[in-house]
Amino acid sequence: MEIVAANTKQTRKFAEEIAAKLKPGNIVALYGDLGAGKTTFVSMVTKALGFSDRVQSPTFVVSRIYSGGNSTSEIKYIHHLDLYRMQDSTDIKDLGIDDYLSQPDSVVFIEWPEVAEKYLPEKTIRIFFEILSENERKIHVQNLH
């Protein structure tokens, strides 16, 4: 699944399509350069799932949790991790990555997941963001069924 989004409206529509396919227990790894739109995309998906919290980058706090999606959704929590400052697998273990990856009523979004690859299950949904121009992004999704 892939899109070249020329603007925010197209990205939001794609985020809504992704949100409609997410299930509790899904882990979503987000890849892309700084400024590629990873946090913005998480915000759009979170809103599409009925969460009203304002999504902020968890870069300095590493983890944020959002609760209270729409009442018809089985997804009760969104865990949003940013591993940009994590150096190695010891940092990842100290974070308690196993606890995050075993949340049956949640969706877990992980920005900068490279340092945690060995902990991610095979079924992890992977979304790749490529900056094509100031407003244009290529977004490629793997493993979303």
44 CB-near residues (< 8 Å, 6+ apart): 11, 12, 15, 16, 19
* Calculated CA dihedral for residues 87, 92, 95, 101, nearest 10 degrees: 150
Give the count of beta carbons closer than 10 Å to the beta carbon of residue 67: 12
Global pTM value = 0.88
Convert the pLDDT of each residue in 33-88 to its tens digit: 998 999 999 999 999 998 876 666 655 557 778 887 665 678 989 999 999 888 78
- pLDDT, residue 53, reads 65
Convert the pLDDT of each residue in 87-104 to its tens digit: 787 788 888 888 888 888
What is the average per-residue pLDDT within 8-23?
95
What is the average per-residue pLDDT within 12-19?
96
Averaged pLDDT of the chain: 88
DSSP secondary structure of 74-113: S--EEEEEE-TT--SHHHHHHHTHHHHTT-TTEEEEEESG
- pLDDT, residue 54, reads 67
* Domains in the chain, CATH or no CATH each: 2-142 (3.40.50.300)
Kindly tell me the burial class for residue 141, based on how many C-beta atoms sit within 10 Å of its own C-beta (0-12, 13-18, 19 or more): middle
